[in-house]
Amino acid sequence: MENVAYVSYLTGSFDIMIEAFLPDTEGLFKFLTQDLEKIEGISYAETWNVLRTDKFNYMWESENVGVGPAAPPEEAAPTPGHEDHQPATRGCPMFTVIQTDRGASDRLTEDAVFAGSGLDISFVRHELHSEEGLIEACAAADAIIPAYAPLTARVLDELPRCRIVAFMATGFNSVDVAAATEHGIVVTNVPDYCTAEVADHALGFLLDLGRNISRLHDSVRAGAWDYEACGKPGRIGDQSLGIVGLGRIGSAVARRALAFGLTVRASDPYVDEAAMTALGVEKTDLDAILECDFVSLHCSLTDETLRIIDAAALARMRPMAFFINAARGACVDTQALTQALADGRIAGAALDVVDPEPLLAGHPLYSMPNVIITPHSAFMSRVSEKEAREKACQEIVKALRGETPLYVRNPEVLERDDLRLSAPSPT
């Protein structure tokens, strides 16, 4: 029973966790307040955060009619020896942190960071997609965690308390950074939480395309047993990879590709030739990149990179070349890519991101046998998700304490007289 409950705790499957114990509510309480600490050192305060989640309370009330919701930590008697693990004392200033959209299935990680901060933080989750909804829900927010919610200049004008907009991702395109800066609001992201995951995903795409793995799998499932069903592939180590954007992820992809024997070239105006040479990469321009056997995008979405792969760029690629995008969908002209694939001007493509996202049902790319599409999942692993959530929340705690966060995306805001990091604490 405890094993089932433990796995359910790790995956956020609270309904299964409750069912593993009920009707033994005493056993469930013991598991949350004592057993988890013995298993992997999870503190009393952290395990109580399970009891603060909306989903847990809903399940508790559904299965325990008349028992009432799970008691918050301050109303529960602590397990002997755990008194020091109680959440922040009441009487401290209350801060409000709002997650606007795309929250995880649980809030264990966020609650654990906030509970251990020593601050009195109210963490509220929504699913907001309009300016009006954001203005109404976030007017009293001291910190905001967005995903795709549009934090436009109009919205930011109506957020007088907001000190920080903290993204749990590398991208931060849904906030008007200039407007945030004008209001003294710090914008942060987590640029390093999924470097390995995205690099692995991109190299997996390269190997899949270069070895016809998915296409041969589909052929076998259709009843064939023909190793030449998709033609004869080239030798991976004899080919070249062109990388657009040699930042953290691009560099990680380069190291992996070099280990497979590929010749690696890269185009990035912000990385000098000496740094590329030290990595074993040849610095070149976009035109030379497009002549490689594999072309892989790893650049941020900016005005410079918007539609950087358009019809003209695709026309310069070789007919036997493959295109990979694990960066941002809007870096590519989707219509031009679709047409190039349909016309056989390139051999295939592997896409973790598309524009728009998702593509409309019935889009031609979905049915092309030489196209692999994954649902913007390259970033995902159990480790990366937890790291992104923890680091974003740690940035918020720094901001609420008046400290400078680690990953500030608008550093010019730090020089402003109206910087809100130094604002008085709310009362």
- Which residues have a catalytic role annotated? 328, 357, 376
**Collapsed DSSP state (helix, strand, coil) of residue 178:** helix
**Lookup: tokens for 322:** 């493959």
**Collapsed DSSP state (helix, strand, coil) of residue 265:** strand
CA 323 remoteness from chain centre? 23
Q: What number of residues does the chain have?
A: 427
The residue among 295, 196, 317, 220 whose CA lies nearest residue 212 is 220
371-373, strands of its sheet edge to edge: 282-283, 263-267, 240-244, 294-297, 322-325, 348-351, 371-373
Residue that has been written with the tokens 């796995």 in this structure? 7
The residue among 317, 351, 345, 315 whose CA lies nearest residue 331 is 351
Q: How far apart are the first and last CA of the chain?
A: 45
Residue that has been written with the tokens 């594999």 in this structure? 294
Contacts (Cβ under 8 Å, ≥6 apart) of 285: 267
